[in-house]
Structure 1
Amino acid sequence: MIVLGLTGSIGMGKSTTARMFAEEGVPVHDSDATVHRLYEGEAIPLIEAHFPGAIANGKVDRARLAKAVVGNQEALDRLERLIHPLVREDADRFVEKHREKGTPLVVLDIPLLFETAGTDRVDKIVVVTAPPQVQRERVLARPGMTEEKFQKILARQVSDAEKRSQADFIIDTSKGMEAARQAVRGIVGLLT
């Protein structure tokens, strides 16, 4: 089985590309979706212990949690130390389940693949990319996003150029949906 790591900086089209892999029949483990699920279950006691007041209606309230960590690097680092191992364990279970089933290819959608030293967990890496202006337009179109928030996020991520230099495959999402879909199909065909 080949474990394909899918990553890309904010606003590059990673989530859309992950859906394209799923549409091609490739099982995809979505780290962001896993975090959402953890915030409604397993992670609640951990978050409550470290970030009192971040729980509302029986689950982690992302807005309250954000108030506790945004602009506070120590708090953000602490949150990541709590959550990243849980996400990794979930992904490991996903991979093992598909290995046992004999699945030929799976995708781990990991936004911070390089930032969390996750390259050792995958056999091949796909980086989604787009020109900086396209990325900026996409990100600033998101509700509640500001230029300042965007710059802070970028500062915490490995640069797009560095990611592309370590990729086995690159998908430029600025060329349109059909071009991205064709690139996904090409990768799936090559690896299966």
Structure 2
Amino acid sequence: MSGPKIIGLTGSIGMGKSTVAAMFEECGVPVFDADAAVHQLQGKGGALLPAIEDAFPGTTGAEGLDRAKLGALVFGDDAALAQLEGIVHPAVAAMRQEFMIEHGGAGLVLFDIPLLFEKGGDAAVDYVVVVSAPADIQRERVLARPGMNPEKFAQILDRQVPDSEKRARADHVIDTGLTLSETRQQVSQLVETLRQMGK
């Protein structure tokens, strides 16, 4: 037994990735959420706060990381972003390793990774699942978020692999432009298919 098969779940901003990850969890698939891991590491008492404060003075406090301050420093500055990733990524990788040990007996596990293709993570998973919805639905969802505006949305999209390319490179695509129950049905069918393939 070589351990669980790994599903890499990704999708552009506003495509419903978190919703779909929760549906996989409902189907009994353990989920490792890279963003949640980062929040834990950078939140109140987080393990990475000293290193981040050292590299970016004034960006952390009693409540953890001040995301607005740090964001202002690294957004659009590739060198600063690379420095931050050098602090964060190894710690997230260590948490992911612990997760794999903990769920070593599961047939399937899921890694929820927003920048799967952008960071070359697709090479480390067995199946790539992309969540996708029509562009108008995506735009509507994203612009409804607090603090979001068309310029910021455009900047985020510029840093992401286009949705059409993600879909083309995916092993499976979950369409989230449908009702929740239709999306949930797609997820449960896919989990069943992947479990059969893993036998």
TM-score range, shorter chain: over 0.9
Distance in 2 (CA, whole Å) between partners of 1:126 and 1:85 is 24
Q: Deviations over 1:19-77 (max 9, x none)?
A: 11111111100111001001031111111111100111152121221122223232222
Query: Residues 37-186 of structure 1: matches in 2 within 5 Å?
Result: 37-40=40-43, 41-99=46-104, 102-186=105-189
Q: Deviations over 1:65-103 (max 9, x none)?
A: 11222232322222122212221221122123212xx11
Which segments of 5 or more consecutive residues in structure 1 lack a partner in the other structure?
none
Of 11, 14, 17, 1:14 maps to 17
RMSD in angstroms over aligned alpha carbons? 1.2
Q: List 4+ stretches of structure 1 deviating above 2 A.
A: 70-74
- Point out the more displaced range, 46-55 or 87-96: 87-96
Distance in 2 (CA, whole Å) between partners of 1:132 and 1:65 is 30
Q: What's the TM-score once normalised by structure 1's chain length?
A: 0.94
Aligned-residue sequence identity (percent) comes to: 52
Distance in 1 (CA, whole Å) between partners of 2:58 and 2:164 is 39
Distance in 1 (CA, whole Å) between partners of 2:184 and 2:134 is 18
Which segments of 5 or more consecutive residues in structure 2 lack a partner in the other structure?
none
SS for the counterpart of 1:175 is coil
Distance in 2 (CA, whole Å) between partners of 1:39 and 1:136 is 29
